[in-house]
Structure 1
């Protein structure tokens, strides 16, 4: 497994509060990683730094084989470099069909309007089919996105990110508000996606993290407190004290 992302000695303060404190993390490709920690641990700020929303006060964030610094890029350049982010609340175009949402998200579609009006673009149609199969919405391609369940909207948004073919997918609390069967499907979807790219899941739900069956990074006060399997980190007394014991 190659190192795709290297965060080294990163710190950032807001009004004197150190949200991230000398944070160092490496993410491989492909890899599935869960990031957990109590509220205020720095999980969201970590993702904000990776996507260019927040610039750190110090440290390095190095990306890809050419060891490019993400800190010199803006948000759109980082997205084009291959980092996709899914926020906790699904944001899909509710007045459009599932198909139209995926088409709009496709990376470099030749002529998306041709596809919408069934003119040519067979390769794009095949890509839409493949993505809808992967997220489990093939039967809903012509349904309005606003009529989907909460879980289905989450899957559609993940599909829209996959349509952009990111090398790193950042997913924020994907299991929130889902039924047990939806959570199971979401687990399968993220595990499959991580076979060909890096997927980082920020999550509070320990049972969901356990089902992901991946390496876990525990953040506390903006730094890495522990790292390893879920069983390994949950036996760490520091983790028990600051997180699980609350």
Structure 2
């Protein structure tokens, strides 16, 4: 496993409040990583920094095989580099069908030149069908997206990100509002996605994190408090004191 993303000594202050404090994290490729911690620990700001939404006061954020700096890049350029982000609330085009949503995401990835010169592997319809099967919506392709359940909308949005073929997928609290069966399917979907890319999941649901069965990073007050398996970090007295004991 090679290092895909390296966050090194990063700090961010908002109006005198240090949201991220000398944070250092490495993410491999492929890898599935869970990030947990109390509210205000810096989990969202961590994702904001990676995606270019927030610029840190100090530190380095290095990306890819050549260790390019993400800090000088715009949000759109970072997305083009292969970093996809899924927010907690699903954002799909509700008036469009599942297939149309996936098709629009594919077009975003391809860009006009690749469409013009026809450099795509296989047909668009085949790719849409394959992604729909991967996310568990193969039988819903003609359905209007607004009619889907909350969990199905979450899967569709993950599918739209996968259509863009990201190297790193950032997923914010995917289990929120899901039924137990939907949570189980989401676990399987994220674990499969992480076989070929890096997937970072920010989550509060400990049972969901346990099902992911991956390395866990615990954030507290903007820095790493503990790292390792879920069993390892949940036995850490500091983690118990600041997070689990609440």
Name the TM-score, length of structure 1 as normaliser. Answer: 0.95
1:222: which partner in 2? 222
Work out the number of aligned pairs and report it.
240
1:91: which partner in 2? 91
1:13 to 2:13 alignment: yes
What pairs with 1:196-215 in structure 2 (closer than 5 Å)? 196-215=196-215
2:123 alignment partner, SS class: helix
What pairs with 1:42-191 in structure 2 (closer than 5 Å)? 42-106=42-106, 107-108=109-110, 123-191=123-191
Could you report, residue by residue, the CA deviation over 1:45-91 in whole angstroms, capped at 9, with x for unpaired residues? 00000000000000000000111000010100000000000000000
Q: Find the aligned partners of 1:66 and 1:219 in 2 and give their Cα distance.
A: 27
Could you report, residue by residue, the CA deviation over 1:171-208 in whole angstroms, capped at 9, with x for unpaired residues? 00000000000000000000000000000000000000
Shift of 1:124: 1.4
Shift of 1:111: 5.0
Could you report, residue by residue, the CA deviation over 1:133-176 in whole angstroms, capped at 9, with x for unpaired residues? 10000100000000000000000000000000000000000000
**What are structure 1's unaligned runs of at least 5 residues?**
113-120
1:245: which partner in 2? 245
Q: Find the aligned partners of 1:102 and 1:201 in 2 and give their Cα distance.
A: 22
1:30: which partner in 2? 30
Q: Find the aligned partners of 1:41 and 1:85 in 2 and give their Cα distance.
A: 19
Name the TM-score, length of structure 2 as normaliser. Answer: 0.95
2:193: which partner in 1? 193
Shift of 1:122: 5.1
4+ residue stretches of structure 1 with deviation over 4 A? Answer: 109-112
Q: Find the aligned partners of 1:170 and 1:63 in 2 and give their Cα distance.
A: 14
Q: Find the aligned partners of 1:196 and 1:58 in 2 and give their Cα distance.
A: 31
Could you report, residue by residue, the CA deviation over 1:114-136 in whole angstroms, capped at 9, with x for unpaired residues? xxxxxxx9521111111001000
2:234: which partner in 1? 234
1:78 alignment partner, SS class: helix
1:60 alignment partner, SS class: strand
Note the aligned Cα RMSD (angstroms).
Answer: 1.6
Q: Find the aligned partners of 2:186 and 2:41 in 1 and give their Cα distance.
A: 25
**What are structure 2's unaligned runs of at least 5 residues?**
none
1:117: which partner in 2? none
